[in-house]
Amino acid sequence: MESNNETLLLREKEIEPTDNVLENALGKELFSIYQELIKIFTDEFSLEPQWRFYNDGKAWLCKVVFKKKTILWLSIWENYIKTGFYFTEKTQKGVFELDIDNKIKKEFEVAKLIGKLIPLVIDIDQQNQIEDLKKLVKYMKELK
């Protein structure tokens, strides 16, 4: 488990998360991973990333949607990009059938419910995590 001195970035309402702002926040390496993620979301999956400032969390979050359906949430932290999916009891089972890292499945198995939803969170800080993320996006998008 990581230590909890993690810092959520993009906390100022007046400062929109332009590419410049994001690159400064993430650093070159992580910013290139971010750019790759956005490209995959838009080009491969026809998703639409929507950055908004949320007053409840006092931070900019990116809601990634397909038509009206939220596929995942993305936020910018010091040293990583947090991606969050939310599944129901019914859709949870399919996640365990995906060919993704067992660590993800183990964490998902013990995730605490948020209302009726089961969160699946991946903190992305390496290129090699993108494949698993793509499988989750694909699964989430195909859910009815």
Note the pLDDT tens digit of each residue in 53-65. 999 989 999 999 9
- The CA distance from 39 to 42, in Å, is 5
Measure the CA angle with vertex 115, ends 102 and 60; round to 5°: 80
Q: At what angle do helices 130-142 and 28-39 cross, to 10 degrees?
A: 30
Beta strands in 55-103 (DSSP E): 59-66, 69-77, 80-87
The CATH class, in words, for 19-142 is: alpha beta
- The CA distance from 30 to 41, in Å, is 16
The structure tokens 């998703």 sit at: 47
DSSP 101: -
Measure the CA angle with vertex 55, ends 121 and 104; round to 5°: 0
Chain segment 84-99, per-residue pLDDT in tens: 999 999 999 999 999 9
CB contact set of 45 (below 8 Å; sequence gap of 6+): 66, 71, 137, 138, 141
Domain coordinates in residue numbering, the chain: 19-142
110 within 8 A of 122, measured Cβ to Cβ: no
- What's the pTM? 0.92
Residues in the chain with pLDDT < 50? 1-3
Beta-carbon neighbour count of residue 117 at 10 Å?
A: 15
